[in-house]
Amino acid sequence: MALLESAPGLAVEIIATDISEEVLRRGRSGRFSQIEINRGLPAAMLVRHFAREGTGWELSERMRSTVTFSQHNLLDQPPEGGAFDIIFLRNTLIYFDLQTRREVLCRVRSVLRSGGFLLLGATESTFGIEDAWERVQIGGGSVYRISTADAA
């Protein structure tokens, strides 16, 4: 939403993956409960891109059409569609042990274009997992880029 509002002519493709078919199904439906909608979504964006659906809200067809949902296990080879400009991997690494986090981040790095960004959850960091990344100061967020000092 933020992308298309600030650059309306931009061709945006988003690939969303999860290991769970149930999560994918919910994602494809574009439906959100009232509790979910209340959380952190500006009301102005709500009225522009959502319509009421029962006790919840449904994302507009235009927005939904920019996102493809597919099943993917982070422990497998990266999904099709790379190289990506931005990868969101938020509050997911926390579920893995250190070695697995290293493997996942390494695969992520292989499909992120140089100069692209990795976004982790607010309390997460690549520190201690891989030093191939450098932190980028953007607001208070956890934004990372492949370190230009890394030649590997």
Residue numbers of the site for another protein (CB under 8 A)?
A: 33-35, 37-40, 42-44, 46-47, 50-52, 54-55, 90-91, 121-123, 139-140
- Please name the residue that has the structure tokens 């494809």: 28
Residue 118 or residue 146: which is nearer to another protein going by CB?
A: 118
Residue 43 or residue 151: which is nearer to another protein going by CB?
A: 43
**DSSP designation for 94:** G
Residue 82 or residue 121: which is nearer to another protein going by CB?
A: 121
Rounded alpha-carbon distances, angstroms, from residue 20 to 26, 74, 92, 105: 10, 12, 13, 20
Please state the closest distance from residue 9 (CB atom) to another protein, in A: 26
Report how far residue 89's alpha carbon sits from residue 120's, in angstroms, rounded to the nearest whole number: 5
Please state the closest distance from residue 90 (CB atom) to another protein, in A: 7
Report how far residue 55's alpha carbon sits from residue 51's, in angstroms, rounded to the nearest whole number: 11
Residue 115 or residue 140: which is nearer to another protein going by CB?
A: 140
Report cis status (omega within 30 of 0) of the bond before 152.
no
Please state the closest distance from residue 148 (CB atom) to another protein, in A: 28
Please state the closest distance from residue 66 (CB atom) to another protein, in A: 21
Question: How many C-beta atoms lie closer than 10 Å to residue 151's C-beta?
Answer: 6
